[in-house]
Amino acid sequence: MDQIQTFFGYHHALVQLLRHRDFGGQDKRSKLEALSALCGDLLEVDNVGVWTSGISGNSLSRVLTYRRGLGFDSSACSLSREQHGPYFAALDAAEIISAEDAATDPRTRSLHQGGPGREGIGAVLDAPIFDGRRLGGVIALETGQRRSWTLADISFVTAIADTISLINAHEAWLNSRKELDYITHHDDFTGLLNQRSLRNHIKRLIELDGNAQPEPFALLWIDIDRLNAINNGMGLHVGNEVVSEIAARLRGMLLPGKELVARVGGDEFAMIYRFPKEVGTMHGAVDTILETIGHPIMVGEQKVQVSASIGISFFPYDGNDISTLIRHSESAMYHAKSCGRRQAQYFNQDISASAKARFLLEGQLAEAIAHDGLSVLYQPIVSNDGQRLVGAEALVRWRHDSLGFMSPAEFLPLAYEAGLIAALDQWVLERVCRDIQESRRQELMLPPVAVNLSADAIMDPLLSDKVWALLERYQVVGEQLELEVIEDAIKGDSRALRQTLEELVRMGIKLSIDDFGTGYSSLLRLKSLPFTKLKIDRSFTKELPHDVDDCAITLSILGLAKGLGLEVVAEGVENQEQEAWLQRQGCNYLQGFKYHRPMSIEQFRELLVTA
């Protein structure tokens, strides 16, 4: 009967502690201190320790120890399964270790012999603390002398262990809610807020409680220029480093008025800007953002030059709801890209109209690429004497259902901006291979055909695999193709680019640099890469032989090519004077309206038959 009354007394004291108004609001450590002190004082033991299990379950680390009459000890110490195997085995089996004599009990003998933090103990009453099915720790009662533990003692320490388990479970639940909230509202790669948080914040700014008038603010939509080219040319890891660094710069930028930065897409960020009272415009802020992003980024030993395009809309002038503001700032960003990138554009209604048309046209172009809605024309290339047909250049064309014939100058920039240019290049290359195959079936061998490749395509590490697959599918030999790349596509020093070009050459494909002289490439790069031909841009041949500057530039290109052992094709030859001058200077090949305009594959075949 005395044991029952004792247990009821213990239970009453525990309930009183748990129901105390201060207990629920305490942090976890304060709760553990209160529980261990209650346990030590009621059971009159020397020490009460709370220990937590390591993730592997092979160690216990002390959280705190209550020393009756002395207070709390938080010095670090641990127990390992290797040294105290029987003790850990008993805890794993959910045993209440009630050892009257720690020195003789096989479960606690190793502790009595000098386990760190539990030296010189006589009796032990330890109860495991479980987190679900996993051992989460132990509450350990110790006395300096031998002691016979009662059923009330054992029941009470078990109740304390279960209470700590509940505290741990509640803490884990709170942490999981915090993690879920973080995941819900943050971008997991950069740690910035995500688009959901952006929309919620805009909603709060617009929908103020009461009669207060919402204050104007700006929404900036920031897009990293040509990130896809960086990913393809330098590797996805470099692109990820660029995104991470830009995120860090935007987060850490000291900009008065900056209120929120979010990542809203793979290469897109958004910023909410509240106008400081002393600043009436945001021109300086835009310059600061562009300058901050524009500093070179070092990725390993590679220096990456990055720029951004920014679109800006204002509340309430450009929209008074979330979706409209976002749509208008995004439209302004695309307008900034179409104006040459590396700049900011403010939204206006003209941009809205052009953006709608642009989005529609993008979808139609993607549809045309996917369903053979484009066509390829062939412009012949002739020998130096202008008499012998030696090759042709494949030129893509698009006849829009409602807009009619669209020049490449209209839809190629659209393909670049929409990220469709590499797919367009692949489509043209496949169409050429199909035309070569069909011509062979008609017992007609086409001369080598030059196909233009964009920087996005040439930087694709899988380009050589894709080209080889086309050669195999259409039974085309590499010597029947020539790939032209613009000069700027080879300005970077990329090992992957060099490997891709060498693999193409091993297939028998010849490589040429298109529009030479309009971009930038060092002589060392030209010498080290496997190009065999240069094409002089029509902008230099147009005024030949009357423009002194064009003559000088063309002569220098011809001299450079000769020194490097490269052949030269002159584009845009339209009259006899141009032809005669280029022939005298030793230009190898000529291309232009003087000889042939671009023609369909059927017309090209007829030309070959009659040539």
For the chain, residues with pLDDT lower than 70 are: 1, 113-120, 176, 178-184, 208-212, 232-233, 277-281, 349-360, 488-494, 517-526
CA dist 395 and 429 (Å) reads: 10
Domain holding 343, by residue range, is 195-347
Q: Is residue 220 part of a domain?
A: yes
**397 and 319 both lie in a single domain:** no
CA dist 79 and 86 (Å) reads: 12
**208 and 153 both lie in a single domain:** no
Contact 143, 45 (CB under 8 A): yes
Which residues are bridge partners to 498 per DSSP? none
**206 and 299 both lie in a single domain:** yes
Q: Is residue 188 part of a domain?
A: no
**570 and 440 both lie in a single domain:** yes
Of 153, 181, 209, which residue constitutes the final position of a domain?
181
Q: Is residue 363 part of a domain?
A: no
Sort strands 258-263 and 297-299 into parallel, antiparallel or unpaired: unpaired
**123 and 212 both lie in a single domain:** no
Rounded to the nearest 5 percent, the helix, strand and coil shares of the chain are 45, 20, 30
Contact 459, 233 (CB under 8 A): yes
Helices (H) and strands (E) in the chain, counts: 21, 23
Contacts of 295 (CB under 8 A, 6+ apart): 249
Q: Is residue 254 part of a domain?
A: yes
**149 and 271 both lie in a single domain:** no
Tell me, what's the pLDDT at 520? Answer: 46
CA dist 385 and 459 (Å) reads: 36
Q: Is residue 364 part of a domain?
A: no
Q: Is residue 606 part of a domain?
A: yes
| pTM of the predicted protein model | 0.53
CATH number at residue 331: 3.30.70.270
DSSP string, 479-531: GGEEEEEEGGGG-S--HHHHHHHHHHHHTT-EEEEEEETSS---HHHHHHS--
CATH number at residue 148: 3.30.450.40
Using DSSP's 3-state secondary structure scheme, residue 157 falls into helix
Tell me, what's the pLDDT at 141? Answer: 93
Structure tokens at 43: 């059971």
- Domain tally for the chain? 3
Q: How many CA atoms lie within 13 A of 125 on its CB side?
A: 29
Tell me, what's the pLDDT at 576? Answer: 93
**243 and 265 both lie in a single domain:** yes
**200 and 73 both lie in a single domain:** no
3-state helix/strand/coil string of 176-192: HHHHHHHHHHECCCCCC
pLDDT per residue as tens digits for the range 127-150: 999 887 788 899 999 998 999 999
CA dist 124 and 140 (Å) reads: 7
Structure tokens at 66: 């209550």
Query: C-alpha distances in angstroms, 289 versus 57, 71, 309, 310, 318?
Result: 50, 56, 10, 9, 22
